[in-house]
Amino acid sequence: MIPWLTEPEDFPPLDKAMREPNGLLAAGGELSPAWLLAAYSRGAFPWFDRSDPILWWSPDPRMVLYPDRVRIRRSLAKRLRRGDFEVRFDTDFRSVIGACAAPREPGGGTWIHPEMQSAYWRLHELGYAHSVETYLHGTLVGGLYGIALGRVFFGESMFSNVSDASKVALAHLARYLEKQGFAVIDCQMTTNHLAFMGAVEIPRQRFAAILTRWSVQEAAPGRWPADAPRHLDWS
């Protein structure tokens, strides 16, 4: 049995998470800013169907991407240098999370239901949740969103309507975070797409140690400069 949470301080140690399903840690609680920030700072994140209670997860292993080790293939590097896309930060968070919530196949569902979107929008208003947006000819075609705590960025989801749009967003995010002294991007679950970009699996215990050191490092919440990507060098 997993514990039922009644207070944000009640999250159990990560080593109490179930092996099957991998990483299920607890249930209950709320999607308020206090609950979400408590969860992320402890290495847990929410993931559940709309009809179910809130479920909190911390899988083992954990996929992470170190900002200074992002893998940019030759074709992507050429595209970045050409500047095919315009990239912005924190200018249209609502559209990004809405696009990420769209079903990936006809008739499919989504875990980013309206309550979840509203919860992360509140975190964005408080300066904790951020979006990276990729535009082509003025149209939003890709992007990602996540949460920044201290010097750790917790990636939540990404989308792409045009080839390479999400990869460009991730490349800009990694380069920006590297310049800001961030230690790691939490990718949560293992995917081939993220592995292609250089993400690796690490034991949950090591991830917990990273959080202990870096999630409390001073980095005041607030909107990121919208035009910051323009100043990144891809030569």
pLDDT tens digits in sequence order for the chain, 235 residues long: 899 999 999 999 999 999 999 999 999 999 999 999 999 999 999 999 988 999 999 999 999 999 999 999 999 999 999 988 999 999 999 999 999 998 766 655 678 999 999 999 999 999 999 999 999 999 999 999 999 999 999 999 999 999 999 999 999 999 999 999 999 999 998 889 899 999 999 999 999 999 999 998 777 789 999 999 998 988 7
pLDDT for 219 equals 75
Model confidence, pTM:
0.95
Domain range summary for the chain, segments of one domain joined by +: 4-58, 63-231
pLDDT for 1 equals 85
Largest CA distance in the chain: 54
Fold adopted by 63-231: Aminopeptidase (3.40.630)
pLDDT for 110 equals 77
Q: How far is CA 37 from CA 68, 91, 135, 155, 228, in A?
A: 25, 22, 30, 14, 25
Burial of 100 (0-12, 13-18, 19+ CB in 10 A): buried
pLDDT for 105 equals 63
pLDDT for 106 equals 60
Give the Cα-Cα-Cα angle 53, 22, 44 (nearest 5 degrees).
60
Beta bridge partners of 34: none
Quick one: which H or E segment has residue 140? strand 139-149
pLDDT for 108 equals 55
Contact 87/133 with Cβ under 8 angstroms? Answer: yes
Contact 64/187 with Cβ under 8 angstroms? Answer: yes
At 55, give phi and psi (nearest 5°): -115, 140
Return the CATH class of domain 4-58: alpha beta
